[in-house]
Each structure stands twice: as structure tokens, then as C-alpha cells.
Amino acid sequence: MNAATKKMLRALPSVASLLEHEEVVDWLSGSPRAYVVSSLQAAIDDAREAILAGDDEISIDSDDLVAEAEAYLLERSTPNLRGVINATGIVLHTGLGRAPLCEAAVEALAESIGGYCNLEYDLETGQRGKRQVHVAEHLAEITGAEAATVVNNNAAATLLILQTLAHGKEVVVSRGQLVEIGGSFRLPDIIRAAGVTLKEVGTTNRTRVSDYQEAICSDTAALVRVHTSNFRIEGFCESASIEEMVELAHRFELPVVDDLGSGALFDLKPLGLPDEPHVQASLDAGADLVCFSGDKLLGGPQCGIIVGRQDLIDLIEANPLMRTYRVGKLTLLALEATLRCYADRDQAPDLIPALTMLTATTGALAHRAETLAELLSQAFPGEHFFVGSDVAFAGGGALPARELTTVIVQWRPAGARASEIAAALREADIPVIARIRDEAICFDLRTIRDDDLEGLVDAVASVILDDDDEDEEEDEDPNDVSLPVL
Ligand SMILES: *Cc1c(COP(=O)(O)O)cnc(C)c1O
């Protein structure tokens, strides 16, 4: 280490001295001291590293270090988990939290969550109650099921059902339905984890009801159907219908479990959506237990819902494992409010955001795309924004292989790579997550809400202004760009 480096290191201000800097004193009135201290430390550490790396241009001036620290403080002060603008067009995007909650659910949470609620308290008798009752009746009413219960997610629901009905025994599943849902959910693993032996039948593309029949033995505890919710087998294929499975299973006095996954509560085809098996059809066909997610096509909070025979639901609720998967009051408040939106089936698509987005017509999307393109063109006259149509996978955990026509606003940024712009959009105050196609940024109107438009224009502004700063080496006043008032 040469003398100059040593001298610079020695001259580096300490955290204690920076804490007395006028600006830092101001920060302390609005930010936790721990965040301020760690931000100053980070700025000093950066400077030390630069000096050690031989950078003798680096400023160790207090003002400059404080300015560096401010960026760290801003980062530390921003919540890690926060709202983003989903411009991907994927309605049930697992990475972006799947279904956005309906207004009624948001209100229910806002009203009740700051205080106490009658989670497990019977207001009539003053006795301890059951947390499931708040939603079980709604579920029974909507689906026609005898009974219902709720756990943390559908993976837990599947495991709990298997563990309760078939621990130490066998279940029969078609080879075409041994799915991986994503993350670590692989059906064969879940079956094993439940202490159940998997008896595979049929082939990847063809399984007949006779295949199930041949597999049934004294160890069999249930026939399980799994909805292939994230892929599709096409061509020379065949699978046993739920009716056939029920007829067979009931002859042997065995239950049929139907893991529906995406869990449309009723037939969505009349709404213009692709054919998706739905809960009511499965129960009508005689399935003994049906399980599905709360945050896929149902459009509610993350949870796993089990509906079906009362005696089997009773067994599941008596399973000690039930306690490990139990849902909290936030979930139940949001779920009850969501389920109430299904009381009038015709209104559900207007009330449940996921359904509204999935069923939006290209005409309506095009109209909103024009609005967005106009806002952007007015705000950024140097850039070009085009309305176009696209075919996208609206699903995620549901309607996966089904493409829906959608409408996008395309932006081919002047003098920058689309991937760089996409990365910068993710760093905006309200991060924007967009698709890229043919070197263009695509904002898909299917998942962009009217409330998002202002944030989206702001995000584009932050990206364009940043870019100008670098190009022209001059500080541009962000107020120079006249943003349209929305
Ligand atoms: C999504 C899905 C699951 C897992 O549900 P989570 O609620 O994400 O735990 C299980 N089975 C099927 C068929 C699914 O589609």
C-alpha cells in the first residue's frame, strides 16, 4: 500500500463525524437511526474499497459521502414487499402474487384488521367458535357441497387429504396426471410426503377407466384425479372422465379425490373463457372431495379450499396436521368478502378483478390501450408508442396453454436496448413489469388497471429522464416534462 492510499484511508470520515453533518441530522428526524448509520457505513465502505482498488479520484468529502449514503437510505426505507404494476398480461402471475383482491376484500381487511375480530368466537353464545365457519357456509352454498374447509394453499390441501384418507395405503393416479405445478410441488413427492404409496396407471397420453380398475386392491384408499392445470396433452390421448372414476370407485366403496388446482367455481365458458373443469361439475359428478386454490381462478387470497362429503371433511379437520396449515384472519376476511361476490353469479365477473381481466374484450382493451398510448405520446414526444394486438398466455397457474388475444402498447425505445429499459422500469418508484417482444417493450392492457396508468407514465418518465441525464450530462428538471394529469 503506497503512502497516498494510506493517507486517503486515514482521511476517510467516520460514521460518528458524518452523523453530525447538517443533512444527516435532518434524516434522523424522519428515519430510524439504525438505517441512517448503516447507510453512512455503506457509503464509507464503498469509498474504502475504491481507495484500496487504487482509485485516487474518489471523493472522500463529507458532502459527497452523505450524498452516496442518501441512495442507500432511500433503498433501506423502501419496503421490500410492495405493489408493482403488472404489465405482463399474465393475470394469475405467481411471481406477482396471483389474484389481485376484489374491492370488498380490501375494504373488509381495512375495516377489521387494525383491531380484533370474532375469528374463533361465537357472538351468539359467547363461547369459543370455529374459524372455518365464516367461509364454510358460503362455499357450500356456492358449490352445492355438503361441507367445506380451508387451509393455507392447495398444496397443503392435497397433502392433508392424502394424509387423512390414505396414510399407509395406496392411491391410484394416472401417469398423465403426475404433474409438477412449479416451485417444489410435484405430485409424486407430495404423495410420498403424506406417507402414501403411489400406484401409477395408464400411460402419459392414455389412461382408461379399466386401468384404474386393474390397480384397485385391498390396499387402495382412493382414486385421485389431478387437473393438468399448467400443460395440455394433445393428439392421441384419452383420460377417464370424473364420472367414470366415480362410478368405479363407488362400486369398491372408495372415495374419489379431485385436485382441480385452478378452481373455477362455475362454468366460465359462457364468459368466453376456455373450457376449464369447475368445482360444481366435479361435485355434481360425484367426486367425494374436491380441492383447489383460492388465489387462482376464484380470484381471492392465497389458500387451499377443500369441499365435499361432510364425514370426510370432519376427518380432515380432526387431523392434527390441520393445525399446521391453518389460515389466519387476514385470509379468512378476504376470502369471505370474495365469496360474497359470487352470491350473484352474473355479477362475479364484474366484481372479481381476476375474472374482469380474463374476460375483458379486445374492444375494451383496445380502447384503454389508445388512452395509454396517447398519454405516453403526449408526455414523451420523442418516443414512439404503438397500439397492437398480441396473443398471450393469460394464465400462470391456470388456463396455461390457452392463448388469449390481447392488446398491447408497444414501445421501441430510441437509442436503448429493450432489455435495459425493462430493467430500469423495474427500478421505478412503482416498479413496472413488462414483456419484451421483437426488441420492443410491451405493456399488456389486460393486467394494467386504470389506477396504474399514472404510475406507468411516471415510470417511463424516470427511465427516459435518467437516460437523457447520461446522454447530455446535464441535470434536467423532471418538471420540464409536462405529465398529463390523470
Ligand atoms: C396450483 C395447483 C396446486 C398448488 O396450489 P397452491 O395453491 O399453489 O399451493 C396443486 N394442484 C394443482 C392441480 C394446481 O393447479
pLDDT at position 1, please?
Answer: 77
Triad 76, 82, 85: Cα angle to 5°: 125
* Mutation pick for ligand 1 pocket among 92, 150, 154, 296 (CB with most ligand atoms within 8 Å): 154
Q: Which amino acid is at 161?
A: I
**Per-residue model confidence as pLDDT tens digits over 348-359:** 999 999 999 999
Of 148, 201, 151, the C-alpha closest to 171 is 201
| Second CATH level (architecture) for the domain 85-92+356-470 | Alpha-Beta Complex (3.90)
**Per-residue model confidence as pLDDT tens digits over 33-83:** 999 999 999 999 999 999 999 988 899 999 999 999 999 999 999 999 999
Nearest CA to ligand 1 atom 11: 261
Unique residue bearing C-alpha cell 350473484: 344
Tally the C-alpha atoms within 13 A of residue 482's C-alpha that lie toward its C-beta: 2
- Give 186 Cα–ligand 1 centroid separation in angstroms: 10
d(CA 184, CA 186): 6
Residue 204: band (very low, low, confident or very high) from pLDDT cuts 50, 70, 90: confident
396: left (phi over 0), alpha (psi -120 to 50) or beta: left
φ, ψ for residue 411, nearest 5 deg: -135, 115
Task: Find the mean pLDDT for residues 16-39.
Answer: 96
pLDDT at position 401, please?
Answer: 62
d(CA 319, CA 261): 22
**pTM (two decimals):** 0.91
Nearest CA to ligand 1 atom 6: 154
Do residues 301 and 331 make contact, with C-beta atoms less than 8 angstroms apart? Answer: yes
67 Cβ partners below 8 Å, 6+ apart?
Answer: none
d(CA 60, CA 58): 6
DSSP 220: E
Do residues 223 and 257 make contact, with C-beta atoms less than 8 angstroms apart? Answer: yes
pLDDT at position 2, please?
Answer: 86
Give CATH for domain 101-347. Answer: 3.40.640.10
Task: Find the mean pLDDT for residues 245-256.
Answer: 98
Domain borders along the chain are: 7-77, 85-92+356-470, 101-347
Residue 151 has pLDDT above 60, yes or no: yes
Residue 397: band (very low, low, confident or very high) from pLDDT cuts 50, 70, 90: low
* Mutation pick for ligand 1 pocket among 178, 179, 181 (CB with most ligand atoms within 8 Å): 181
Q: Which amino acid is at 155?
A: A
Q: Using a 6 Å cutoff on CB, does residue 304 contact ligand 1?
A: yes
Q: Mean pLDDT in the chain?
A: 92
DSSP 440: E
Task: Find the mean pLDDT for residues 268-280.
Answer: 89
Do residues 91 and 395 make contact, with C-beta atoms less than 8 angstroms apart? Answer: yes
- Give 292 Cα–ligand 1 centroid separation in angstroms: 7
pLDDT at position 481, please?
Answer: 39
